[in-house]
Structure formats: C-alpha cells, structure tokens
Structure 1
Amino acid sequence: MSLNGKVAIVTGSGQGLGLAYARELARQGAAVVINDVNQETAAAAVAQIEADGGRATAVVVPVGSTDAAKALVAGAVDTFGRLDILVTNAGILRDKSLLKMTDEDFDLVINVHLKGTFTCVRESFAYFKENNIAGRIITIGSPTGQRGNFGQTNYAAAKAGIVGMVRTWALEMKRAGVTVNSVIPVAATAMTKTVPYFQKAVEADERGEAMPSFFRHDLGFGTADDVAGLIAFLASDEAAGITGQAIGAGGDRLQVWTHPEAASTEYREGGWSYEALRENAGTLFGKENLQGYGEEFLPLPEELQPEPAKAEAR
C-alpha cells in the first residue's frame, strides 16, 4: 500500500464521490479525515472505512470559512499526528438559469466550492511548509468548468476558478515540493440520476452491473470508483512530478486537459481599430477560429434511450 503512514483530508466525503475517494485512499494505507455537514452521515462513512480495515475520523463542519479549514487540519494532526494529502471535494448545487438565479444561489455555491477550496488549500499548504512536508493537493473540477453548461452559472464559475487557482498554486508551491492538481470526474452521482440521458447507465450501476460500453468508453462516463484510483495515484510519491494539471477521469477514459492557448494570432501595425476589425472580421473571426462552448453528447443508441423516449418514438 503506497500511502502507508500518510494522512489525508477529503472534504465532502460522507457519501458519493467523496466517500469513494476516501475509501480508496484508506485502502492504499492512508488514515483519512472524513468531512460532512451531517454527523450521522460522517459517522457512517468512518464506520465503513474502519469495517474495510482502514483508519478514519470525522470532522463535521460546513466547508467555506477559514475556521472550518483550521478545524479540518487540526482534526488530522490531533488524531493522526500529521497531514500529507488534501482532497477538496465538498460542494453543493443551486442550478438555475441566469435570470432565475438569486444572489443567494450564486453566493452559496461560490462559498463552498471556490472559497472552500481556497481556505482549505491555504491552511494545508501553510502546514506543509511549516513542517517541510512535500504534500499532495487534489482539487475537484468539472466538465462544466471546462466547457460551460446551461443553468450552472455559479457552478461553472466556481469550477473554472478552481482550475485557475491550481495553475497559480503550482507555481507558488513548486519550491516547497508540494503538488497541486485538479481532477475532472465524469461519474454517476445524485445529479446524473435525474438526467434521462444517463438513465440506462445509472440503472445498470444500481443493479451492480457494468455500465454499457457506450457510456464507459464512448462518453467516458462511469462510477465513483473509476475516479478514485486517479485520486489515490496523484496523492502518492509516484506522482511527485505531476502538478498544475487538469486531469479528467470517467469510465474507461483518462484525459489530460489542455490549458487555454491562443487559437489564432494576427498582427497589424498600429493595432486593431474598429474599422480594421470590420474590414478583416471574416478572417479574424471565421468559423475555423471561433471556439465551441457547452458540453456536447453523442446521440444515444436506440437500445440505450430512456423508456419515455422509446415510448414516444413508437
């Protein structure tokens, strides 16, 4: 077990993806701090890891504030004597289209995802530096943060912001030997259960069966366990040379996302005036230069279409 002697914090790990990450870290030998806002949920997660033969403790606190971040680091150090790994998974959703999204909807999501990542990383990095630990920081991004998604202004802003912070932190943490990366999971969650497109995949997973190959291979969509291995690998000594990256995992697919680069570059002596832009718009902003946005899914094969859609087709 490559993580023997290591201690990890996984925020938002009482259930779902976070719990899968925590269980895999524990399976690889790390002691784990479980975090959730519900005491019973956190206790059940700890009991599950202990039943698997691992070590775990719980810190019940809503992620976002500096006080919460301090409590998490203190929980790791006080219980297990040190901290080596941080996984910032905690998050909430308040999906609404722009004109229906309230200030509260926006602020709540930004506070947990974006500020919560910031405060937990800052507190953990301070501990790493003070104790000369070449720590591992793994943040959680999303395809929505990479591409955008209808009805998720707040979530897209938070997840894109997290990847932006990772690139900055990789520069700031390099001298200390601390790595920081963002994992982009594509997996069955409580949210995808409500999306008809994924119905057949989720139903197969709930029956304990393998998802159809179309989902696992063609879409790169799988289970929480399909992502957990990448989390544990990035937390290991073997990943010491990997930092500042956004890495996607889902089903049978692994992706290293590109960082934004210029798609086209044109120069004009004296700069680009309004008139010059009008005159050259066809060349500057042709279809070959304009970039796509939003997630695009492949058409579902007929046998994998949700039941209502099949009925309508007949």
Structure 2
Amino acid sequence: MDLTGKVAIVTGSGRGLGLAYAKRLAAAGAAVIVNDVDAAVAEQAAEELRAAGGKAVAVAAAVGSSEAAQQLVNAAKDSFGRLDVLVANAGVLRDKVLWKMTDEDFDTVIGVHLRGTFTTARAAVVAMKEQGEGGRLILIGSPAGQYGNFGQTNYAAAKAGIIGFTKVWAMELSRDKITVNAVVPVAATAMTATVPFLKPYVEALEAGEPLPQFARRELAFGTPEDVAGLVAFLASDAAADVTGQAIGVGGDRLSLYAHTDQIVKEYSEGGWSEDEIAAIWPTAFAPHLQSVGEKLPTPPEK
C-alpha cells in the first residue's frame, strides 16, 4: 500500500496501538505527526519512525481542546505542507461502576475520547476541505461501544458516540470526498492488560510466547501490529469508496459491524397503551430481547 505524499496525524501515538498505526503509515510512505501527552514519549516514537526511514514530527499535546487540535493540524501543514489522514486514537481509562464513578472520572474519559475526536476531526476537516482533494478520518472505537462493558460507563458511552460521529460525518463529508470510518480494534495493550480474561494472553505476548489459535481467531485478540494494516488500508486510495462503516479487527479476524436496526415491529391503531404493550410483549418482543456485554467464547480445556 503506497501512501507516499500523504500526511497523517495519529493522536495518542507515543505507544501501544497508536504507535503501531503510526509505524505502519510511515512504512507505507506517509509523513506522520506523532502525538502524545508526554513530550519525551512523543519524541522517542517519532525518532523510531525516522530511524526506520520514515518522516515524522512529534507534537506533545493533551487531546481534547480546540487549541490542541489546531496545534496538531498546524504541525502537519507547517512540517509537510498538507493533511490527508487523521487517526483519532488518543484515549484514557477511568473504570468504575456507576455509583462509584466521579464527575472527574466521567469528564476525563469523555473529554479525551469523545471531545478529543470531535475537536481534532473538526480541525482536520477544515484543512482537508481547503485543500479540496478529499481525505480520511479514521476514528478508533471499541467493542465496549458496541456491546457495553461492566465498569465502563464513561468509556462505552464515548466509544458508542464515536460510531455516531462516523455515520453523521460520512454523510456530511461525502461531497468533499472525505471518508469517515471507525476501527474497532482488539489487541494487547496497557488497557487490555487490565481485563482479567485477557491478561494471560497479554502476559504470554510480553514473554515472547505465540498466542493460541483460540485467542487469535475466537477472541480476535493479537498484537497492535495485527490492527495496523486496516488503518493503512483505510488511509489509502484503495478505500476511497469505504465510508460510514464500523470495522472490527484483531488477531486473525477482520469483521464488519451491522448498523443498528429495528428487529421487531407491531402496530396498534391509535397508539399503544401500557396494557396493550403488556399483553403483546411476551409473545412478540420478549423472544427477541438483545443481550448486553460481549459474549466471549469459553477457552478450550487444556
């Protein structure tokens, strides 16, 4: 995949998934703005890209504010003359059950994930529209935003909101040939290391051990590098007709998520009373109630 001449911003790319995205984009020829809240981490990541023959500039900024978003866009234009791709990846976790979650826990996660995606996308789109040559918004979602996840009120809400962004912006930006897609990754990172079910697989990778087929296929769980190919594809000309989609990737699995739809429809002349709803619910609706939380398969016995 040749991305020569393209310029990409990857937020939260000092380490983990963001760094894997930045490395893959740079390896394909794109110039990359590497971003992290820690200046030393951002510069070290950028130096890794440059040492491998890529073009990269580090920008230390806490994603969320309009000022930080403009700083990133300005860096792309000042350093490389243009902007073609935004990968909105920056994120934090503040996991707690609802009754223990503080305002700060909620606002911090929403501020980075949801507001940060909004502000960076808005600034990027202004630059892309001025260029008049199209562009790519690649927004990073999560299975938590698709299914919900215990203890993640803030994170799940933010990631579900990012899917909403994807659909709206795909419509709004179609005439400008700016595609908008959400990537829903699963990979070994500092975040997934906190999930008890996944922790043994993260530890296996850290120890240099290969993951079992169950993890890579049934759980779609692998390394950050396993996810990066999808980001490079969506950044490329090959994905010019792909927009408004939520695409899952991890381990050996690539998947396409369905849009939410109404699965049962019944009608009552003049509208529905509570008694009428109670009467029809057990037969028409109860058999189709949807589950909450991701239903993970049971590991095979050793």
Which TM-score applies when normalising by structure 1? 0.94
Match of 1:223 in 2: 223
Letter in 2 for 1:267: Y
Q: Please list the CA deviations of residues 213-258 of structure 1 after superposition, one character each: whole Å capped at 9, or x if unmatched.
A: 0100111111101100000000000000000000000000011000
Deviation of 1:196 after TM superposition, in Å, equals 3.4
Deviation of 1:186 after TM superposition, in Å, equals 0.7
Point out where structure 1 has 5 or more consecutive residues left out of the alignment: 304-314
Which structure 2 residues correspond to residues 184-263 of structure 1 after superposition, within 5 A? 184-263=184-263
Equivalent position SS for 2:95: coil
Deviation of 1:281 after TM superposition, in Å, equals 1.8
Match of 2:125 in 1: 125
Match of 2:52 in 1: 52
Q: Does 1:290 align with 2:282?
A: no
Point out where structure 2 has 5 or more consecutive residues left out of the alignment: none
CA distance in 2, matches of 1:245, 1:204: 32
- 1:12 and 1:35 in contact (8 A); partners too: yes
Moved over 4 A (4+): none
- 2:33 and 2:59 in contact (8 A); partners too: yes
CA distance in 2, matches of 1:104, 1:39: 24
CA distance in 2, matches of 1:300, 1:197: 10
Q: Does 1:105 align with 2:100?
A: no
Q: Please list the CA deviations of residues 257-309 of structure 1 after superposition, one character each: whole Å capped at 9, or x if unmatched.
A: 0010001111111111112112212123222x111110121112233xxxxxx
Match of 1:302 in 2: 301
Match of 2:279 in 1: 279
Q: Please list the CA deviations of residues 89-116 of structure 1 after superposition, one character each: whole Å capped at 9, or x if unmatched.
A: 0010000000000011000100000000
Equivalent position SS for 2:57: strand
Deviation of 1:195 after TM superposition, in Å, equals 3.0
Match of 2:154 in 1: 154
CA distance in 2, matches of 1:62, 1:190: 18
Letter in 1 for 2:290: Q
- 2:264 and 2:285 in contact (8 A); partners too: no
Tell me how large the CA RMSD over aligned residues is. Answer: 1.0
Deviation of 1:192 after TM superposition, in Å, equals 2.1
Match of 2:173 in 1: 173
Match of 1:25 in 2: 25
Equivalent position SS for 1:72: helix
- 1:73 and 1:83 in contact (8 A); partners too: yes
The alignment of Structure 1 onto Structure 2 pairs a total of residues equal to 302
- 1:64 and 1:111 in contact (8 A); partners too: yes
Equivalent position SS for 1:155: helix
Deviation of 1:210 after TM superposition, in Å, equals 2.5
Equivalent position SS for 1:180: strand
Q: Please list the CA deviations of residues 119-172 of structure 1 after superposition, one character each: whole Å capped at 9, or x if unmatched.
A: 010111111111102101100000000000000000000000010011000000
Match of 1:270 in 2: 270
- 1:197 and 1:300 in contact (8 A); partners too: no
CA distance in 1, matches of 2:265, 2:194: 42
62-71 or 187-196, larger mean C-alpha shift: 187-196
CA distance in 2, matches of 1:132, 1:83: 11
Over 3 Å counting, the alpha-carbon distance change for 1:154 and 1:196 in structure 2 is closer
Which structure 2 residues correspond to residues 56-95 of structure 1 after superposition, within 5 A? 56-95=56-95
CA distance in 2, matches of 1:39, 1:192: 24
Q: Please list the CA deviations of residues 169-189 of structure 1 after superposition, one character each: whole Å capped at 9, or x if unmatched.
A: 000000000000000001111
Letter in 2 for 1:147: Y
Match of 1:136 in 2: 136
Q: Please list the CA deviations of residues 55-79 of structure 1 after superposition, one character each: whole Å capped at 9, or x if unmatched.
A: 1001101000100100000000000
CA distance in 2, matches of 1:302, 1:276: 48
CA distance in 1, matches of 2:72, 2:192: 29
